[in-house]
Structure 1
């Protein structure tokens, strides 16, 4: 697993971390947590796609509530944490 060192800088009253191109995220929102070891864990938040398609399928009666609930449950599952070596 690749490990890179990057910069932390102040951005107003917050801190920001420069994410190298090798770890580029395909979203503009993330959730951030701290695990028991004190490590920060960043999870990209998926952009809700297909909302118009889902509405059209619902209007046609092709999709029911249980199908939508199953999709929501699947999307809300966090991605597994990656094993990384400490610096």
Structure 2
């Protein structure tokens, strides 16, 4: 699942990274974009314990699903196509 959220505390962000099975983490200003494994419910429950200012689940594209699954399986995407 891909979730974007805004947390006010950097320590809560680090805790969240440890608590979730994070596949990818991006930051744009104060917006945190997390791609993580797990059910939507368990991911959102973990995030809600950190009292985010904002949080929403975004759909994953087929490309994102493919890339994250192949990277987890140990393949380097650049080596497959280039």
Give the TM-score normalised by structure 2: 0.22
Please report the TM-score for the alignment, with normalisation by the length of structure 1. 0.22
Q: Could you say which structure has the higher helix fraction?
A: 2
Tell me which structure has the larger Cα radius of gyration: 1
Structure with the bigger percentage of strand = 2
Query: Which structure ranks higher in relative contact order (CA pairs < 8 Å, sequence separation ≥ 6)?
Result: 2
